[in-house]
Amino acid sequence: MSGFKTPLPESRRFWYVVREVMKTRHSALTLSATLLVLLLCGGFLVLTVLPIRDNPWSRNHALAQVNVLAIRTAIDQYVTTYDAWPASPTNYTAILGALRGENSNSTVFLTFDNDSILDPWEQPYHIEFDHDGDGVLPLAVTNLKLQVAVWSSGRNGKNEYGEQDDIRSW
């Protein structure tokens, strides 16, 4: 009697059919729900991850921001210690030398690997001091009420005096 099943009573047959239908609908619902979730996740990734590639807060931008703030902090510490500017703002090498320990007490205010510190786009950082002590830095674009300003030219490599894509310390 293989393959032969005894017929179910009418009352049980209904629930048997319902149970079999629910099994198939349940698995189909799970499959469709899974596909919907995958579709939504894919759409979310396309809308969020792809624009991040061109986000100004990319890795290079963040690294330049950290370096700009580190240079400014080192200059502030130098001025607090020696009550003078590290060097002329036009002498980039002398400024960095003074900050890395080439000063009267050999105090190190900033450490870096290379002889000169460059931004992630291989450009030197720009440094301006308030030499006359009036608390205003006259830049090409604006006057800043600061004693020291440090900025990177940014991705385009053009010195826009802290504007456009420049990464700045103020």
Residues 105 and 47 in one domain: no
Domain count across the chain: 2
Residues 49 and 84 in one domain: no
R_g of the chain, CA atoms, integer Å: 33
**Residue at which a domain ends, from 37, 54, 71:** 54
What element of type H or E holds 35? helix 10-52
User: Which CATH number fits the domain that encloses residue 85?
Assistant: 3.30.700
pTM of this prediction?
0.62
pLDDT in tens, 75-133: 889 888 888 888 776 788 888 888 888 888 888 888 877 666 888 888 888 888 887 77
* Neighbouring-strand partners of residue 129: 148
CA separation, residue 113 to residues 96, 109, 116, 153, 169 (Å) = 12, 14, 8, 21, 22
Both tokens of 147, joined, read: 């004693």
- Structural domain for 13, as ranges: 6-54
Residues 65 and 136 in one domain: yes
Residues 75 and 45 in one domain: no
Q: What is the mean pLDDT of the chain?
A: 77
Domain annotation covers residue 164: yes
Both tokens of 68, joined, read: 């700009």
Residues 30 and 108 in one domain: no
Residues 85 and 145 in one domain: yes
Query: Minimal CA–CA distance to 155: which of 79, 49, 75, 53?
Result: 53
